[in-house]
Chains A and B, each alone.
Chain A
Amino acid sequence: MRIALFATCIVDAMYPSTARATVSILERLGHEVIFPGGQACCGQMHVNSGYFKEALPVVANHVKAFEADEYDVAVAPSGSCAASVKHQHPMVARRCGDAGLEARAAAVGHKTYELSQLLVDVLGVTDAAAQLGSYFPHRITYHPSCHGMRLLRLGDRQLDLLRSVGGIELAELPEAEQCCGFGGTFSMKNADVSSAMLADKTANICGTGADLCAGGDASCLMHIGGGLSRQGSGVTTMHFAEILASTFEDPAAVTGDVRLTTGRTAR
């Protein structure tokens, strides 16, 4: 299969190791990965903040970039960015009165998957240790991000994949389905409420005794990880793609609360 990677802007710029891990996983399964070079961002920060007019060129760019290459499916290592491409893009085009773009956006959205969706539903991965050689000898917990859970209905896909990693120990996160408080510009506009939500999330994470909290959205992980780092908790966050990409020979490093960006070589 020829798979187009939508890295998402935050992963591209801040967490390249997550995108590299995604490439590594897909190539291990024997697929060809391409990176449509015109891509930038899904535009959900603009949309969710009410800046529809400013979002339109961002949406148009994404559609153009993902029409430029031939591929079977596109994948994003992010629930909220995949949801934005699938649900918001046609809506933004419609709201701005561009019916042509609406149809094209819907077509791109139709071909776009969140990573765990692609792995489980399309590529048939059920046992990461056996099929990907995943090995990660750490005690972790897992936060299901809201958009993956409620907009994409990912269910336990990410968690099940993590469970099947060799050497891993999974601690259940109390009140896991409660939002971490990120919410894009909400974290700045309503910083007090966001911080109160974050405090409860980090307390629950620390209570599990895990070395790190895994998740499927870099933005939520940056928020949670930023809070854990500020509290000096020593607990860190990591995208599940990096855990799946980790092997016995080439393990992903967990290096305390500033591990936020220093990704390993994922190939």
Chain B
Amino acid sequence: MSGTFLGMPSLPVFGIGNLHEHEPFPKAAHRELGNTQLRANLGHATRTIRDKRLAVVSELPDWEELRDAGRAVKESVMARLPELLEQFEANFTARGGTIHWARDAGEANRIVASLIREQGADEVVKVKSMATQEIGLNEYLEEQGIAAFETDLAELIVQLDHDKPSHILVPAIHKNRTQVRDIFLREMEGVDPELTNEPARLAAAARAHLRRKFLSAKVAVSGANFALADSGTLAVVESEGNGRMCLTLPETLITVMGVEKLLPAWEDLEVFMQLLPRSSTGERMNPYTSLWTGVTPDDGPQNVHLVLLDNGRSAALADEMGRSALHCIRCSACMNVCPVYERTGGHAYGSTYPGPIGAILSPLLTGITAEENNSLPYASSLCGACYDACPVKINIPDILVHLRGEDVDSKRGKKKLPSQMDLGMKAASWALYSGKNLGLVEKALPLGRIAAGPDKKITKLPGIAAGWTQSRDIPAPPGQSFRQWWNKEHQAPAGPAAAGTDVPGAEPAGPKENP
């Protein structure tokens, strides 16, 4: 692992805030799997969006080249992040914006709260943003007596229900429209008591509710999808137009953005504006893209701030094998294709970042030993669907395996007793590290046949292996291994494989299967 100097305070500062799994993933997954409403909604939604994505992606003959370009741009950004950040700061400041550097979630929250207080405001409107969820801004502001109103429809639903988002793009994916109507009736001030669950009526109710907030709020808080170093420009990509309202109506605009969101130049947007909408909503183009560069006199917010957030990003960048997780553009394609996510939903991952990217990003930002984050890299069958879908080609399976290694190494020599998995791996390492040892183990195969009994299957195993027999039988082992059969067939010294064979003897090791 090599350190990368970021020109920022002492390394590594791990991320804090909403980045943690609070219970082992298998336990959380077990609970979520029991939520049939969630599974039905998720299964339907992810399947729909998967098909849409495939359709628009297959329209582009140069899709693979675009993905390569996206990855290359992000790699170059990570390689010269300090320089680009300084360039961005100079340009943003020259255009009348103010930059604040936040080492972690706590610093970022305090900066935002004090900026709001400076304006004498006690409420803000918000554009959907992962960074502010990561730092737990809404909760912090509430403690400070400041009300934050989410304006994205799905975020609004989740917020009104005092729930947590379960998907980074479709935060209320786990709710159906009747549930949404009930939430509105219960939580929304002045809502029509005759509200039905028709999507159009629900949207109208939300619009009326939000319009009041847009017109009264003096401060807006946003995230950003991209920041362009060569001009000091910020960009928000969205579907509903609520973001555009927040970014233009209030007098003060405070943006919180992770340092990794930088792009070198305007031209780079060309690549990412093709990759992002297609990968996230399955659209060729998203309805609203807002770009702003500092302050424009008498037009839009006159008091413009950007909080640049580290919160573990330097630590992730210092991990040579894991750093490409910072290339993520939060499109959510990986979760929509993930068979694990499709069944457990986002809450099972604990962190703001669910699904395959969450399983690597959360432990990279917090360090592998934080809370239960070491269980996240195992939340994958390593099927590789996420890597294929990722518009910036993050090799998520390889990073999952890398982090499993970090987890195993972090525990070496620490435990009083090795786990069943440790012991199993040691034993298997012995059995599998030579043909001779495996040959010896195979001599015991007939024992398995005795265990299997007359119906030739094993239906119950002890310990961690019980996980296997929970839903699957194990076949009775064969009477002889391939190796034993081969050696018998090729016993004559002229046999092509006679040399080099180190299996002792070739006597029958059990009842012959195919006489």
Contacts and interface: CB of A to CB of B under 8 A. Distances in A.
Contact of A181 (B381, B385, B438, B499): B381
A229 B472 contact: yes
Interface in B462-515: 464-468, 470-478, 480-483, 485-487, 490, 496-497, 499-503, 513-514
B482 A19 contact: yes
Given A50-B406, A189-B467, A192-B33, A146 B438 contact: no
Given A50-B407, A229-B472, A193 B482 contact: no
A173 B459 CA distance: 27
A208 interface: no
A51 B459 CA distance: 28
Contacts of A39: 435
A183 B457 CA distance: 21
Contacts of B432: 9, 40-41, 43, 58, 61
B379 interface: yes
Contacts of B167: none
B442 A192 contact: no
Contact of A194 (B381, B429, B477): B381
A53 B425 CA distance: 10
A86 interface: no
Q: How large is the interface on A (under 10, 10 to 19, 20 to 34, 35 or more residues)?
A: 35 or more
A32 B490 CA distance: 13
Given A13-B442, A14-B475, A197-B339, A191 B514 contact: no
Nearest to B388: A150
A8 to B, nearest CB: 10
B474 to A, nearest CB: 6
B378 to A, nearest CB: 5
B474 A49 contact: no
A193 B27 CA distance: 10
B425 A49 contact: yes
Contacts of A182: 381
Contacts of A7: 482-483
B483 A45 contact: no
Given A19-B482, A147-B384, A258 B435 contact: no
B471 A227 contact: yes
Contact of B500 (A38, A50, A61, A192): A38
A179 B383 contact: yes
Interface string A76-118: 0000000000000000000100000000000000000000000
A191 B384 contact: no
Contacts of A33: 496
A20 interface: yes
Interface string A214-256: 0000000011011101100000000000000000000000000
Q: Which one of B26, B433, B436, B437 has the greatest number of beta carbons of chain A within 10 Å?
A: B433
B169 to A, nearest CB: 21
Contact of B29 (A35, A181, A190, A263): A190
Contacts of B485: 16, 20
Contacts, number: 249
Contacts of B25: 190
Contacts of B470: 191-192, 195
B343 interface: yes
B408 interface: yes
A12 interface: yes
A74 B346 CA distance: 43
B404 A193 contact: no
A222 B475 contact: yes
Interface in A45-89: 45-55, 57-58, 60-61, 65, 68-69
A190 B29 CA distance: 8
A224 B111 CA distance: 54
A91 to B, nearest CB: 8
Given A12-B483, A263-B514, A35 B383 contact: no
Classify the secondary structure of A's interface with B: helix
Contacts of A41: 432-433, 438
Given A189-B26, A193-B344, A58 B429 contact: yes
Contacts of B387: 150
A226 B467 contact: no
A83 to B, nearest CB: 10
Nearest to B374: A50
Contacts of B501: 35, 37-38
A178 B339 contact: yes
Nearest to B430: A57
Given A12-B483, A261-B476, A263-B478, A40 B435 contact: yes
A47 B432 CA distance: 13
Contacts of B409: 50, 53
A154 interface: no
Interface in A168-206: 177-179, 181-199
Contacts of A35: 483, 486, 490, 497, 501
Given A38-B502, A50-B407, A12 B472 contact: no
A189 B33 CA distance: 15
Contacts of A179: 339, 381, 383, 385
A186 B339 CA distance: 13
A11 interface: yes
Nearest to B514: A265
A185 B468 CA distance: 9
B356 to A, nearest CB: 12
B110 interface: no
A23 B455 CA distance: 29
A262 B41 CA distance: 42
27 contacts: A7-B482, A12-B438, A12-B483, A13-B445, A13-B477, A14-B475, A37-B435, A41-B432, A50-B409, A54-B425, A58-B433, A61-B432, A61-B433, A61-B435, A146-B385, A150-B384, A186-B381, A191-B470, A192-B26, A193-B26, A195-B471, A223-B472, A226-B475, A230-B459, A230-B471, A262-B478, A262-B514
Interface of B: 25-26, 29-30, 33, 339-340, 343-344, 377-385, 387-388, 401, 403-409, 421, 425-426, 428-429, 431-438, 441-442, 445, 455-457, 459, 464-468, 470-478, 480-483, 485-487, 490, 496-497, 499-503, 513-514
Given A16-B478, A181-B339, A187-B381, 16 more contacts: A9-B432, A12-B481, A14-B475, A16-B481, A17-B478, A19-B482, A37-B500, A38-B500, A57-B429, A150-B384, A182-B381, A184-B382, A187-B467, A192-B26, A193-B26, A226-B471
